[in-house]
Amino acid sequence: MVSSDFVKQWQGYGLTTAEILYRLPDHPSLLQSYFWQEYDLAPNFPVLVRFLDFWRDRLEGGLHSVRVAHCGLIKPAEYRAVDGIIRLN
């Protein structure tokens, strides 16, 4: 059986990591960081947007900023041209 994460990668999803800075409800001048990681589609990031909407609707800590990194894990094979032939005797 194939992993659901592997299927997502074939559908174009890539591993996405977001660093979310938010304000503490009791001390709004202090920032706390939260790291979120999931497979998502760049550049619109619908899974991340859904999570941030949930955060805004249900959690008390106000969002300050979000920094996103994305990487497609399945990529075409790299091809390198060879300038010559090496002969081994």
Q: In this structure, is residue 83 part of a structural domain?
A: no
What is the domain extent for residue 30?
Answer: 4-71
Report the C-alpha gap between 67 and 86 in whole angstroms. Answer: 47
Q: In this structure, is residue 30 part of a structural domain?
A: yes
Q: In this structure, is residue 22 part of a structural domain?
A: yes
Instruction: Give the pLDDT of the chain (89 residues) as one tens digit per residue.
Output: 888 888 888 888 889 999 999 999 999 999 999 999 999 998 899 999 999 999 999 999 999 999 999 876 455 555 566 666 666 65
Report the C-alpha gap between 49 and 82 in whole angstroms. Answer: 45
Sign of the C-alpha dihedral, residues 78, 81, 84, 87?
positive
Q: Which residues contact 10 (CB under 8 A, 6 or more apart)?
A: 74
Report the C-alpha gap between 21 and 68 in whole angstroms. Answer: 12
Q: In this structure, is residue 78 part of a structural domain?
A: no
Q: In this structure, is residue 84 part of a structural domain?
A: no
Amino acid at site 43:
P
How many structural domains comprise the chain?
1
